[in-house]
Amino acid sequence: MNIRIGQGYDVHAFGEGDHVMIGGVRVPHERGVLAHSDGDVVLHALCDAMLGALALGDIGVHFPPSDQRWKGADSRVFVRHCNELLRERGWCVGNADVTVVCERPKIGPHAQAMREAIAVDLGIDIDAISVKATTSERLGFTGRGEGIAALAACLLVRT
Ligand code: MG
């Protein structure tokens, strides 16, 4: 088989702070997120999609919150590590599609920078990376502004 598919999902609650890391981009906001690492839901969902495509477990297995090494970690390190795991097994990301779910902050103005950061970390063309966003119509925890969620899908192809 020359293709594999994976999906990922991540959530972080808002907490104290003045910015949120989303897709490797520092987005100013009146809240931060509660997390052991930098709490980047886009990159965490993407890592889970990449790992899931090869049935390599999940981000919690590879970067356990109990490990002090990952305290406050830049999640781009996680993405690059997952990419290495794929590449050493003869795979690379063909394309990835991410959806951010939140009422605020607004994602649109930052989506291009997020695509660029992800494309650089994966070593693939920006055209292969999609970052989009939706609100949940003020319903549920994302709708009430209690947290932020992201979903990711990725296709792997043989290198
Ligand atoms: Mg997470």
For the chain, the first-to-last Cα distance in angstroms comes to 13
How high does pLDDT run on average in the chain?
96
Q: Quick: pLDDT tens for 129-155.
A: 999 999 999 999 999 999 999 999 999
pTM for the complete prediction?
Answer: 0.97
**Which whole number is the average pLDDT over 76-90?**
97
pLDDT for residue 103 is more than 90: yes
| 159 CA to centre of ligand 1 in angstroms | 28
Q: Residue 107 is which amino acid?
A: I
Q: Omega before 109 cis (within 30°)?
A: no
* Nearest-angstrom CA–CA distance, 36 and 95: 28
pLDDT exceeds 90 at position 4: yes
Indicate the SS3 state at residue 67: coil
Cα–Cα dist 70/72, whole Å: 6
How many angstroms is it from 65 CA to the middle of ligand 1? 10
CA of 102 to the centre of ligand 1 (A): 15
Give residue 84's pLDDT: 97
Q: Which of 92, 101, 81 is nearest to 37 (CA)?
A: 81
The pLDDT tens digits of the residues spanning 15-57 come to 999 999 999 999 999 999 999 999 999 999 999 999 999 999 9
**Distance in Å, CA 89 to ligand 1 centroid:** 25
Q: What spacing in Å lies between the alpha carbon of 2 and ligand 1's midpoint?
A: 29
| Rounded average pLDDT over 4-14 | 98
Please report the domains of the chain, with CATH numbers, ordered by start residue: 3-158 (3.30.1330.50)
User: In the sheet where 147-158 sits, what is the strand order?
Assistant: 32-33, 3-15, 147-158, 91-101, 129-134
